[in-house]
Chain A
Amino acid sequence: MRGKGLALLCLVPFTLFYIAFQVAPLVWIAIHSFYSEMYEAWGWGNYSDILTSTFYRQAMRFSLDISFWSSVWGLLIALAGGYSLHQLGGGRLHRFLMSFTNMTSNFAGVPLAFAFVILLGLNGCVTLLMHKYGLMQTFNLYSADGLIVVYSWFQIPLGILLLYPAFDGLKKEWQESAALLGAGRWHYWRHIGLPILSPALLGTFVILLANALGAYATIYALTTGNFNLVPVRIAALVSGDISLDPNMGSALAMLLVLLMVAITLVHQWLLRRSYQYAGRRS
């Protein structure tokens, strides 16, 4: 049993650092979210302030709105693009495109903000191009719609990478059987393809949602904290000069964490359900 004792020792540094950098901050936030700076008392003060404040409610509305729509667009484009990529089979083009997708998934954040200003900013080349043909005169990169475009962009590579393994689960014989039974492409996808993919689609959507909700770097670089989103508010409450209130920030952060945990649980449940299709004889 000496081996086991020594083994346990190996787990200690790992556990220690994990607690120090992941668990401890979360615990601190959880505890201090219940202390209100304003009322100088413990209780639900912060939470009620947040939930009754139009300002914070707007932040939450914007966050959910932008996250939802960017996930929808990202997922649709990732579905079409990812499936088409999968059909390419092996080969150099396929390998190149997969590496490219991997690469672009790390472009998000400050670099992405810059790139989009170049493209779709007030004097962006695409903006000017559109104006020349009289299109999209009212488009503003720094509005909710503009942010949906930017967020959708960085959802695409993540969506493709997450969805890709699911396409392996779509056996070619199903499409062939369906064809012999009279089903064209549309009918195949409607009755067989999409239903089989639905756990993967839902699971990916849910991860994209969480990805967008927690995103901070892109929005910060783009609008310097002038757009009202939940992560921006949290950061402002913790490190801003004017509105420094880490306890309120903690409460807001806890609300975000709760939402993320709910999303994670849904995703885990969906993963378990998809085992019904994967690895089963059919």
Chain B
Amino acid sequence: MNISIIKWWWLVFLILALPLLATLLYALSTTWGATILPRGFTLRWMVQLWSDPRFMTALGHSLLICLGALVFSLVLVLPAMFVIAYYFPRLDAVMNVLILMPFAVPPVVSSVGLLQLYSDPPLMLTGTPWILIGCYFTLALPFIYRALANNMQAINMRELIDAAHLLGASTWQAALLVVLPNLRKGAFIAVLLSFSFLIGEFVLANLLVGTRYETLQVYLYNVRNESGHFSSALVISYFLVVLLITWLANALNRERG
């Protein structure tokens, strides 16, 4: 074919990589003031970061909340999606509206109502990680729903259950023993997509919880004025952690086949 491929992707890759590279350089440089390139290189910022107990706490908080929210979401969404797919297929249209809501109602807007509703007893949730887990469930819902819905369609769920019925299983046995194991791939993708999205969430974490249960992003914001190098080291570490977890999860999933 005489039509040549313009290598725009090079340019786009460069544009996207530039901020990352800049942050990486900053994290590893001794000083980088009013000069185009840093003066020298060092690992001391990374060392300082990883020996900071506040960082480790924030990291722990982030991981805990994200994983907790994901488990919570799966526990709520899986049965609901199964029930809708098998018993009430017409509710699927309703679901489609529901997953659009977190998109049409940005977190900043939700926080207005959330702060007012849950800041006083008896539902004193703001300032605790519980409100984040609840909110993250709604944020992750579109990702989880889409991944699981694709999976359910691909495995031809209704036929599988029919086959199980003919072999003597009740619907619930079929759901647990036949459908659920086959949804592993979709659940996995859902979790991966949502994880990287949730761990980067700042708006709700800052407005609803703040320093009372500091997550990575909030910590990042709070220490921004101390040292640019330190903050950059923090950003790079955060990025590396997400990459590591994603890679680990992928490797584990591939092993299990």
Contact = CB atoms under 8 A, between A and B. Distances in A.
Touch between chains A and B, by CB atoms below 8 Å? yes
Contacts of A10: 79-80, 82-83
B108 interface: yes
Interface residues on A, range: 35 or more
Interface string B207-240: 1000000000100110010001001100100110
Nearest to A260: B104
B107 to A, nearest CB: 7
B196 interface: yes
A11 B98 CA distance: 14
A119 B19 contact: yes
B134 A21 contact: yes
Given A21-B134, A108-B200, A129-B36, A26 B105 contact: yes
8 closest A-B pairs by beta carbon, nearest first, are A25-B113, A214-B106, A81-B12, A115-B19, A14-B80, A217-B202, A84-B8, A28-B113
14 contacts: A22-B101, A25-B113, A80-B8, A84-B5, A88-B5, A97-B13, A103-B243, A104-B16, A111-B235, A114-B232, A119-B18, A213-B106, A220-B206, A257-B105
Interface of A: 3-4, 6-8, 10-11, 13-15, 17-18, 20-29, 32, 77-78, 80-81, 83-85, 87-88, 97, 100-104, 106-112, 114-119, 123, 125, 128-129, 132, 153, 156-157, 160, 175-176, 179, 185, 210, 213-217, 220-221, 231, 234-235, 237-239, 246, 249-250, 253, 256-257, 260-261, 263-264, 268
Interface of B: 1-3, 5-9, 11-13, 15-20, 22-23, 26, 32-37, 76-77, 79-80, 82-84, 86-88, 98, 100-117, 131, 134-135, 137-138, 141, 171-172, 196-197, 199-203, 206-207, 217, 220-221, 224, 228, 231-232, 235, 238-239, 242-243
